[in-house]
């Protein structure tokens, strides 16, 4: 209970800091929307030249793109501080004050920044899903909606787990931003149906960096009923819990290393 209240107090603090830079926020949200529009525009311009992309119509590809934004956006909302941990804060020795508070450091990282830019992505993503979905005349089943929501929420947890684990390596190596960047950028593959990729890439996207698991497979379930939605949901939840547990474990181990070496 204390932590829930504390979280909201911290978030309010984070928003107050953000409001100090109103103009910058407005311009960055605008350019963010614009860059999504450009990426989407590019895809549609390409798709106009061909009948379908490996059997996927433009509306279906759009649906994929829109849906892929949701887990990425949810992660973006809550865990932006880990980027700073990976790139700067450990290197600058700017973590001590968190280790001096009677609260788990990892909780403090989540509470340190709430990134409202993520709402822009959520809105764009949902809008695209709705527009493309209406165009597709999909038969909406409860199971499909369920697995999409699970995919978005627990998919975000998987992305966050990668961020936690990789940023905590900074406690040992001082700076792990580049590594985090490399892994995170694999999300570009998540924007397309995995069916368009070669087998090796498909394998990676399901079993190693499971972006395909929580983006492609749920959408395939909605569009074609390829998988049992409840079984798939169960798998996604299971995988995300495993990832998150491992990530917090790695964080704890690395943070202990920090406590024994200082900065």
Partner 1 sequence: MRRLRKYKPFVRASAIDMMAYRFNIITWAIVTVFEVACLIFLWLAVYQSSEGGIDSSINGFTYKEMIVYVVLTTIFGFITFNDDTLWFINRDIRQGTIGNFLIKPISYRGKFIASNIGAFLMMSIVFGIPLYAAGLGVLIGIGYLPVASVWDFIAHFALFLVASVLACLLNGVISYIFGILCFYTSAAWGLNALKTTVISFLSGTLLPIAFFPNVFREIVTYMPFAGMSQNPVLILMMKYDYLECCKVILISLAWLVLLELFAKLLFSRAIKVVTVQGG
Partner 2 sequence: MIEVQELTKIFRKPVRGKGLIGMIATLFSRKYTEIRAVDGVSFNIPKGEIVGYIGSNGAGKSTTIKMMCGILTPTSGKVLIDGKEPYLKRRIVAKDIGVVFGQKTQLWWDIPLVESFKVLKEVYQVSDSDYEARIKFLSSVLGIDEFMSQPVRTLSLGQRMRADLAASMLHNPKILFLDEPTIGMDVLVKDKIRTAIHALNAKYHTTVVLTTHDMADIENLCSRLIMIEKGKIIYDGPLGDIKRRFGNIKTLTLTIPPNIDPNEVEPFSDDIIMSVDEDKVILGFDADKVNLEHVVQYAFSKYHAIDMKIADISIEDVVKKILSQQEEEHAKAKKI
The CB-of-64 to partner 1 minimum distance in angstroms stands at 12
**Placement of tokens 């978005």 in the chain:** 152
One DSSP character per residue, 41-102 reads HHHHHHHHTSS-BTTB-HHHHHHHHHHHHHHHHHHHHH-THHHHIIIIITTTT--HHHHTSS
The CB-of-37 to partner 1 minimum distance in angstroms stands at 9
Write each residue from 6 to 25 as x if it is in contact with partner 2 (CB under 8 A), else as -, in one continuous string. Answer: x--xx--x--xx--xx----
Q: How far apart are CA 129 and CA 167, in angstroms?
A: 32
**Interface pick for partner 1 out of 1, 4, 5, 51 (rule CB under 8 A):** 51
Contacts 24+ apart (CB under 8 A), 34-40: 36/69, 36/121, 36/124, 39/65, 40/65, 40/128
Q: Which does 140 bind (CB under 5 to 8 A by kind): partner 2, partner 1, none?
A: none
Q: Which two tokens stand for residue 224?
A: 């074609």
Q: Which does 199 bind (CB under 5 to 8 A by kind): partner 1, partner 2, none?
A: none
Distances (CA, A) of 197 to 15, 180, 200, 218, 259: 40, 23, 8, 17, 44
Q: How far apart are CA 251 and CA 39, in angstroms?
A: 35
The CB-of-245 to partner 1 minimum distance in angstroms stands at 27
Rule CB under 8 A: say whether 192 interacts with partner 1.
yes
The CB-of-251 to partner 2 minimum distance in angstroms stands at 15
- List residues binding partner 2 (CB under 8 A): 2, 5-6, 9-10, 13, 16-17, 20-21, 94, 96-97, 99-104, 256, 259-262
- List residues binding partner 1 (CB under 8 A): 21, 23-32, 34-35, 38-39, 41-42, 45-46, 48-55, 177-178, 181-182, 185-186, 188-189, 192, 196-198, 201
């Amino acid at each position: 209970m204390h932590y829930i209240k504390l979280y909201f107090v911290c978030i309010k603090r984070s928003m107050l800091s953000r409001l100090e830079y109103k103009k910058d926020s407005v311009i960055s949200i605008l350019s963010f929307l614009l860059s999504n529009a450009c990426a989407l525009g590019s895809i549609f311009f390409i798709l106009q030249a061909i009948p379908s992309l490996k059997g996927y119509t433009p509306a279906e590809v759009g649906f994929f793109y829109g849906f892929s934004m949701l887990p990425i956006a949810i992660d973006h909302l809550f865990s932006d501080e880990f980027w700073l941990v990976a790139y700067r804060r450990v290197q600058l020795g700017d973590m001590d004050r968190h280790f001096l508070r009677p609260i788990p450091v990892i909780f403090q990282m989540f509470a340190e920044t709430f990134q409202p830019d993520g709402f822009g992505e959520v809105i764009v993503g949902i809008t695209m899903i709705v527009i493309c979905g209406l165009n597709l005349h999909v038969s909406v089943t409860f199971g499909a909606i369920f697995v999409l929501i699970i995919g978005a929420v627990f998919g975000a947890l998987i992305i966050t787990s990668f961020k936690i684990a990789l940023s905590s390596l900074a406690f040992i190596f001082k700076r792990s931003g580049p590594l985090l960047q490399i892994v995170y950028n694999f999300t570009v593959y998540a924007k397309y149906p995995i069916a368009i990729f070669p087998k090796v890439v498909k394998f990676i996207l399901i079993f190693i960096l499971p972006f395909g698991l929580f983006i492609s497979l749920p959408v395939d379930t909605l569009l074609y009923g390829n998988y049992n939605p409840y079984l798939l949901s169960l798998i996604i939840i299971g995988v995300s819990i495993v990832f998150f547990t491992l990530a917090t474990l790695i964080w704890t181990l690395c943070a202990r290393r920090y406590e024994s070496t200082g900065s």
